[in-house]
Chains A and B, each alone.
Chain A
């Protein structure tokens, strides 16, 4: 996945989270969040790329 593709995927995840609670993205995010993942890691995971251990993501 290129950085551009990841950016688009992350944007899509954020948009779905914003929209409503009745979508699979939100349900998955809820589970990951309940497992203790940070917002940064949740979005990385849902966008298809594991979060780097150190970084300065613009979506942190």
Chain B
């Protein structure tokens, strides 16, 4: 399939996505115009001129943060136009930015190359490094302040999270000399953790004030170590902006290289051990549920099916080592019942018929165990009928039926989700679903394995 014929992606449309909106409570400066990536050619031309003008002004300003942001904004330009193929993005950066910087044959051009070496991918760094060597070989050197770029000193880190475990936002302050700034990264924890919103603020104090405020019923905040902040942001930022990940706003994609650069400045290893939950922990949680008062009625009606669903729900937590087996939120519930289960598990009529009582019992047990209180429990129980009303359609979807074939013989209710994901990805590589498959959707894709990414470029997001 040609790149031009790739299906355009739409914004996530799951109702459960609504909970994510709270992520953006922190106001950030706006590096680029546009919101949805669809702009006209005339707007694009004007945008290019504006961005390039701002870039050179930023580089000439001698302000490291401003120069970084302007450079990152330029690097995001292909993405704003809807281009997500990494090779094309690299090509744009090499052609427009690296070559453009060399052509100027000025210290500012050399400064831009140094910026690209800090913010770019490995390929960009190599290209910029070679180009900078060419300029310095001619006696053209970047200005002195450029040596500070990317060497911002970390300050403090905070985490804001919802009590259900669906989302978290991590904010970290940094300083260039006396001047403080901060980054904030919203992470979607419902599937494989991925950064969904990224911001940079020149007002670090206000950023921390916003993220640590206790003004939402189901949100909590805590100060965390810089090392823990690194752990929580590193992989989600790696996954952000990739072809199969949720689409980022233009401002988030522009901030992404700066955030990645800052995370590399955070220390490793002094964050203390995070709890790791094993298959044994998940099995113990299932036993605890089965013996609980919340499960009594469902167990009495159909013990085997109740156990089956308990294993599915606890097993899903296995995709993240630090996720407690009893954790579920409104969005994660939708991920499990409308994505994970239809894509991987072949249900018997008894299991399908016992879905509602078993999951209702499990949610009540989970909420009680986590002390979510009446209001928190109500949020989960209100979500359940919405998800269940769509379960039949999701499970019987021809795409889901096809994908379940890839998990044939592998998927048991207690199967390790990460292993299952890798195995399905491997089988899809061995035998891809034909590209002409008419209704290949984001919802029905398995998960983001490397095999999957490379063998399914036509994955799309679900319809609204």
On A, residues with C-beta under 8 Å from B are 14-15, 17-18, 21, 26, 29, 33, 38-39
Contacts and interface: CB of A to CB of B under 8 A. Distances in A.
Contacts of B426: 17-18, 21, 26
A21 B430 contact: no
B451 interface: yes
25 contacts: A14-B430, A14-B431, A15-B430, A17-B426, A17-B427, A17-B429, A17-B430, A18-B426, A18-B427, A18-B430, A18-B431, A21-B422, A21-B423, A21-B426, A26-B426, A29-B429, A33-B429, A33-B450, A33-B451, A33-B454, A38-B454, A39-B429, A39-B432, A39-B454, A39-B455
Nearest to A21: B426
A38 B432 CA distance: 13
B340 to A, nearest CB: 21
Q: Contact size class for B? A: 10 to 19
Q: A-side binding surface: helix, strand, loop or mixed?
A: helix
A33 B238 CA distance: 19
A24 to B, nearest CB: 14
A21 B450 CA distance: 14
Contacts of A17: 426-427, 429-430
A14 B422 CA distance: 16
B31 to A, nearest CB: 32
A18 B407 CA distance: 11
A14 B430 CA distance: 5
A18 B423 CA distance: 8
A39 to B, nearest CB: 6
A38 B426 CA distance: 14
Nearest to B429: A39
Nearest to B455: A39
A11 to B, nearest CB: 11
Contacts of B431: 14, 18
Contacts of B427: 17-18
Nearest to A16: B430
Contacts of A21: 422-423, 426
B446 to A, nearest CB: 15
Given A17-B430, A39-B432, A39-B455, 7 more contacts: A14-B430, A18-B426, A18-B427, A18-B430, A21-B426, A26-B426, A39-B454
B333 to A, nearest CB: 30
Contacts of A26: 426
A26 B454 CA distance: 16
Nearest to B419: A21
A6 to B, nearest CB: 17
Interface in B445-464: 450-451, 454-455
B423 to A, nearest CB: 7
A31 to B, nearest CB: 13
A17 B455 CA distance: 14
B417 to A, nearest CB: 16
Interface centre among A18, A29, A38 (most CB of B within 10 A): A18
Nearest to B423: A21
B197 to A, nearest CB: 31
A20 to B, nearest CB: 8
Interface centre among B423, B426, B430, B451 (most CB of A within 10 A): B430
A3 B429 CA distance: 22
Contacts of A29: 429
Nearest to A18: B430
A29 B58 CA distance: 46
A26 B432 CA distance: 16
Contacts of B454: 33, 38-39
A8 to B, nearest CB: 16
Interface centre among B427, B429, B454 (most CB of A within 10 A): B429
Top 8 nearest A-B pairs (CB, nearest first) are: A17-B430, A18-B430, A14-B430, A18-B427, A39-B455, A39-B429, A14-B431, A18-B431
Nearest to B450: A33
Interface in B128-145: none
